[in-house]
Chains A and B, each alone.
Chain A
Amino acid sequence: MKPRPSSLAFVALGLAAAGFAATFLDAAWLRDHGARQLAERGALAARLGLTDLALFTEARYTRHPSQADLHSAFQDHPVALEHFPTGSLLPPPASLVSHHERLDRKTASPD
């Protein structure tokens, strides 16, 4: 007997839902599996006092964005154009898009 279209649809949707649930299980498995490596990365950062990810190594203000001068985007000379692709993909200075609290002002440090 030919199965009803609704039965086929439920089987297909059930399989897709099982696949969806499997992504969460797989993520949990991969997380367990990668926990040691993640801990190793964290331990190295703690041991060497690392402050940044080695994602963009082309210039000092992209290699260590958290340690860069506060206005490093046009640092070479006034109205200097940005050289590096990463620079153009970094967010603009916080003063232009002020989403966060101004901690530097709170600590009364010179800019």
Chain B
Amino acid sequence: MNAWIEKQRHLIDFTLASLARRRTKNLGLLLVYTLLVFVLASVALYTHALRQEAAQILKRSPEIVLQRMVAGRHDLIPPGYLERIGRIRGVQTIEGRLWGYYYDPVVKANYTFMAPTAEAVQPGTLVVGPAVARSRGLAPGNTISFRAYSGKLFAFTVAGVLPHASELVSADLVLMSEADFRAFFEYPAGHHTDIALSVANPLEVRTVAAKLAAALPDSRPILREEVLRTYASVFDWREGIVLALLSAAIFAFAILAWEKASGLSAEEKREIGILKAIGWETGDVIKMKLWEGGLISLTAFLVGFIAAYVQVFRFGAPLFEPVLKGWAVLYPRFELVPSIDGLQVATLFFFTVFPYMAAVLVPIWRAAITDPDAAMRS
């Protein structure tokens, strides 16, 4: 065993000395290789964490949201719908929701106005999201006025700012009392924006949705699992776009690596010829080259992955954030909770390390089985 280890160590010594002779070329290759792993790992880590975050948060969103459609557009829920839904078996809780959008010309941004039923907001006051507070310079106790779509001016006192930790879902929220909401948007009495439902048995959600659609043909039930899939597909799509943009760089590297690994230079061929002439076996030459490929690709993978992790989770992914997260005037500031998918890392390892090792192996085997005399003369 010791003799085997010693032999491998000698092979590695020789490989490193051989790499050092072509230092600039090999360091350049290592740098480009590391950068490629860094970019791919950054995109994979970032989108996976964002997908997980969305799934974790939205798994507590309403089980079914029921919208009413008029001429293909989302319309208000008229009085009577809540009672009709209440008669459907399996429905546990029903809540008419009040929410809408308001365009604030001061900061040229859209807010989401909402009258929560679970949280009591005093009439004449607002609880604002952190990004709204930041963009309008608001603090509890300040007064702010909005011109309603009817043209009337409404003044409110800021009662509180939602916590920064919740910014990912609450950046643009403006919470107000039901009376204020109805007065501000001139909502007719008894009307709601949509209806949130919870179902007693989670296995019956689809059945209840089908019953809802049958009982109220002008309604559109949106299930929680559809919401979760929407976000999974948004981030999958964005990851795909970034990878498509990077594909040119990936192909360029593939060509460079293939060229470097598969096309042996005359110097390398001569080296192999000399090694064989002085008694090296074909197996030794292949082992030496395998070590070369292994050392380069493993170093590139490990360093690239570590750099990607630090970039994404310790520095907030400044390189890919704009494309992967999107943008808006009111942008939430949040720190992603790291989530590393072992399978994703293993896939990255497989597709970055193994192709290079394979590219190294084929030509070296071809060169190693040729006659040393012919190899040295060529």
A110 and B165 contact, Cβ closer than 8 Å, known pairs A48-B114, A51-B61: no
- Asked if B79 lies at the interface with its beta carbon under 8 angstroms from chain A, I say no
- Asked if B241 lies at the interface with its beta carbon under 8 angstroms from chain A, I say yes
Contacts of B169 in A (CB 8 A): 41, 44-45, 50, 52-54
Return B244 CB to nearest CB of chain A, in Å: 12
Contact B306 A107 (CB under 8 A): no
- Asked if B330 lies at the interface with its beta carbon under 8 angstroms from chain A, I say yes
Q: What 1/0 flags go to B93-124 for Cβ under 8 Å of A?
A: 00101000100000001111010101100000
Contact A109 B213 (CB under 8 A): yes
Contact A63 B54 (CB under 8 A): no
Chain B, interface size category, equals 35 or more
A67 and B57 contact, Cβ closer than 8 Å, known pairs A30-B337, A40-B165, A100-B229: no
Give complex CA distance A80, B114 in Å: 30
Contacts of A99 in B (CB 8 A): 233
Contact A45 B209 (CB under 8 A): no
Contact B326 A31 (CB under 8 A): no
- Asked if B355 lies at the interface with its beta carbon under 8 angstroms from chain A, I say no
Chain A, interface size category, equals 35 or more
Name the one of A9, A52, A89, A106 contacting B241, with C-beta atoms under 8 angstroms.
A89
Return B98 CB to nearest CB of chain A, in Å: 11
A110 and B233 contact, Cβ closer than 8 Å, known pairs A54-B171, A56-B326: no
Q: What 1/0 flags go to A11-32 for Cβ under 8 Å of B?
A: 0110011011011101100110
Contact A63 B61 (CB under 8 A): no
Name the one of A9, A20, A38 contacting B12, with C-beta atoms under 8 angstroms.
A9
A69 and B163 contact, Cβ closer than 8 Å, known pairs A100-B233, A109-B219: no
Within 8 A of A (CB), among B150-173: 162-163, 165-173
Contact B299 A65 (CB under 8 A): no
Contacts of B69 in A (CB 8 A): 110
Name the one of A31, A37, A53 contacting B338, with C-beta atoms under 8 angstroms.
A31
A53 and B67 contact, Cβ closer than 8 Å, known pairs A6-B9, A30-B338, A59-B110: no
Contacts of A38 in B (CB 8 A): 53, 56-57, 337
Besides A5-B16, A65-B234, 13 other CB < 8 A contacts?
A: A6-B12, A20-B302, A38-B56, A46-B60, A50-B58, A54-B112, A57-B172, A59-B110, A63-B112, A86-B326, A89-B326, A109-B209, A109-B220
Q: Which residues of B contact A (CB under 8 A)?
A: 9-10, 12-13, 16-17, 53-54, 56-62, 65, 67, 69, 72-74, 95, 97, 101, 109-112, 114, 116, 118-119, 129, 131, 162-163, 165-173, 175, 194, 196, 206, 209-210, 212-214, 217-223, 225-227, 229-231, 233-234, 236-238, 241, 295, 298-299, 302-303, 305-306, 309-310, 313, 323, 325-332, 335, 337-340
- What are 16 sample pairs from A and B whose C-beta atoms fall under 8 A apart? A6-B9, A26-B309, A34-B335, A38-B337, A42-B59, A49-B97, A49-B118, A51-B222, A54-B129, A54-B172, A57-B328, A63-B110, A67-B74, A85-B327, A89-B238, A106-B210
